[in-house]
A and B are shown apart, each in its own frame.
Chain A
Amino acid sequence: MPRWRVLAVFLLPAFLLYSVFIVYPLVSALDYSFFEWRGIRQAGFAGLDNYRDLLSVYPYDQQLWRAFAHNALFFAGTMLIQNTVGLLFAVLLFRYGRGKRFLQASFTTPYLVDPLVVGYLWSLLLNPTFGPVNALLKAAGLDSWALPWLGDTNTALPIVILVNAWQWVGFPMLMFSAALAGIPAEYHEAARVDGASAWQAFRRVTLPLLTPAIGVVSVLTFIGNFNAFGLVYAMAGSTGSPAGSTDVLGLLFYRVAFVEGGVEAIGRSSALAVLMFVFIFGVSLLATSYFRRRERRLV
């Protein structure tokens, strides 16, 4: 039997699953987005009308950009907090090996729990009427700190970002730990012998060598944050409470597609899905090629 047939047999299951569950829905969303819909009946070709509606019909014209901005903030906040703290944990665990296994395991446990569960858990903890967080703060005499965390338009999104970081901080930590273990110790030692301070050695030697890991972590964080749904839905409901201050693209899609009804739902939500896919895919490609170039410069 020729070699390609053997290969085909092994590739077929994965290819079938991939086509049925990934390619087909993507292509059909693209297809749906070009039609006018009345319920589940197609009422003729619509060209780019669904896209135009999404960008021009009130309140979607405002909600789309607001949600986009929140996704961008979500990404920036996550990079700044989750990935920096993850790097810090990785470096500390690498330097001072004591309890490494145990700590690594504890930092990664939250990912075993679904984001929806994490979201509900934290919204119970932060509940202003019955939640233990504010009860603790009040018991400690910090009454002025007992804020309605998820009910204040200024604190809601930062809290969501922090809870998300709490859940996923183990991921950058593991990635960076693996990358750190792969850097030969001589580089660091040579730098120190040459008189570099610990910070300089980290900044000039270790950090540049972490570029591949930083690239992977950044791109995956970007994809995860721009597709955020479960956690935000659990903590802020489908409308991105309070007052839309936590609204993200995932929630907007969910509302247009399933919550608000209306006979136009399928066309408009498909158009939004296509826009999100194109943006996330495009940026991920650009970012990946950027990090590749940086990596090549390292060699």
Chain B
Amino acid sequence: MKRRWIAGAIGALMLALAACAPGGGASGRQEETAGKVTLSLWSWRVEDVKAYEKILAKFEDSHPNINVEFKPFQATEYNNILATGLSGTAGPDVAQLRAYGGLQPLVEAGQLLPLDDKVEALSGFDAKLLEGAKGHTDGKVYGVPFAYQTLQVLYNKKLFADNGIQPPATWDDMIAAARKLKAAGITPFAVAAGPDATWTLPIVHEIFGNARYGSTAFRDAVVGGKKKFTDPDFTASVKLIKDLEPYFPEDVVAVKIPDVQALFATGKAAMYPTGAFDLAPVLKANPSLEVGQFPVPPPPGSPVTTPVTPGWADGSFGVNAKSTHQAEALELVKWMATPEFGQLYATELKQLSAVPGVTPSDPLLAEMAKNYAGNGAPYTLLVDFRYGQPNGDAVFRDEVQKMLAGQADPESVSESVQKGVEQWFKPGN
């Protein structure tokens, strides 16, 4: 009796263990039917499943032997899931890749296929955007860029009209407008510096300060080791944020992103310095909002005298070096470099496609794309200084928040950033 009991317990335990074991028959790649290959495509865009299915259906129409399975993961977990997936055998064939420093760990681990001589269309891509898909040390391209972001000020057209304000042509016009709005009880700039918003502070700095620190020329000088972040021009660009603080919401250090989105969407704030990515959420919160955009006119003393639109590549699609269907995977990423994909992507997802020659259907996005094409510049702390720890962007956002909390001044912000990146950054590579 006792013996049978024990046998039962062991049996139950075995069952439990079998249930825990990974990779049962059902998961993993689907069985190929009649020579048809199924590619798995991994992404961090859980919210875009429908759009991707629509886009990929077009690809499947023109490539009847290939089936693409779109598999999105939680964005915050994606990096770890992808790194693990690529190192095993159950990984994706094609994967959405982070840009710049976010791509580097995968490149260094040798998990991706270089695409330089495999996807010819890459040579036609914007060189600034292509950098986001390159290995930092080997300079090879590991992905086909899919989107980019631009930074500018969104504004509420009705509030501007009601207060007799035009999109500013000079920095002084902008300050005068802000003063007028504040006097009318409207928050001039919807800026958040609260717990969830520190990452937006370098973006705010780029929007107002890119021209002031010298834009691309300064970036090249810093990357080449000819200048440092302690440069007076960079410090002056940091000081702009402090100078603009009176026009931000009160107690800005406690204000969160949803707060400023609500302020702007409900017409309590007139201007929203942010990326193209915020256009959709703002319009979702208030579809009747009339939104315009302008690149910030250069402040007095700027080395650059035309308004700059900073931007960066959002990410790319690359091929798993271990994929068993490399030929088909390459077909897919090649297609992702065509205007057909670019146009579908831009229309379905309301984003700026990185494929050359694609114009967004949304007029506002089209303006942003035009500004970037005309006078775009890299958001250097993201583009160049996220390859080591501490990343320049992370040090900068903490220090700017300190400055807004009254615990640092522009000089110490610049010094901290320089000190942070010096821990790993060697000029010239």
A interface residue numbers (CB < 8 A to B): 1, 6, 9-10, 12-13, 38-41, 57-60, 123, 127-130, 148-153, 235-237, 239, 241-245, 255-256, 258-265, 268
Contacts and interface: CB of A to CB of B under 8 A. Distances in A.
Given A127-B254, A263-B388, 12 more contacts: A1-B3, A9-B6, A39-B105, A40-B87, A41-B108, A151-B405, A153-B405, A237-B196, A242-B193, A243-B253, A262-B389, A264-B388
13 contacts: A58-B422, A128-B254, A129-B263, A130-B259, A151-B251, A237-B196, A237-B198, A239-B401, A242-B402, A258-B80, A263-B105, A264-B388, A265-B389
A57 B421 CA distance: 10
Interface of B: 2-3, 6, 9-10, 13, 16, 79-80, 83-84, 87, 101-102, 104-110, 193-198, 249-256, 259, 262-263, 386-391, 394-395, 397-398, 401-402, 405, 407-408, 416, 419-420, 422-424
Task: Please classify the interface of chain A as helix (H, G, I), strand (E, B), loop, or mixed, using the class held by over half of its residues.
Answer: loop
Contact of A261 (B101, B402, B423): B101
Closest 5 CB pairs of A and B: A151-B254, A39-B105, A237-B195, A148-B251, A262-B389
A263 B80 contact: no
Task: Please classify the interface of chain B as helix (H, G, I), strand (E, B), loop, or mixed, using the class held by over half of its residues.
Answer: helix
A256 B391 CA distance: 10
Contacts of A1: 2-3, 6
Contacts of A245: 405
Given A12-B13, A237-B198, A242 B254 contact: yes
A15 to B, nearest CB: 11
Contacts of B259: 127, 129-130
B195 A123 contact: yes
Contact of A59 (B84, B109, B401, B416): B416
Contact of A262 (B80, B251, B255, B391): B391
Contacts of B397: 239
A264 B83 CA distance: 14
A148 B253 contact: yes
A57 B369 CA distance: 40
B420 A59 contact: yes
Nearest to B77: A258
Contacts of B108: 38-39, 41, 263
A60 B390 contact: yes
Contacts of A57: 389-390, 423
A149 B420 CA distance: 30
Nearest to A150: B254
B109 A38 contact: yes
A261 B401 contact: no
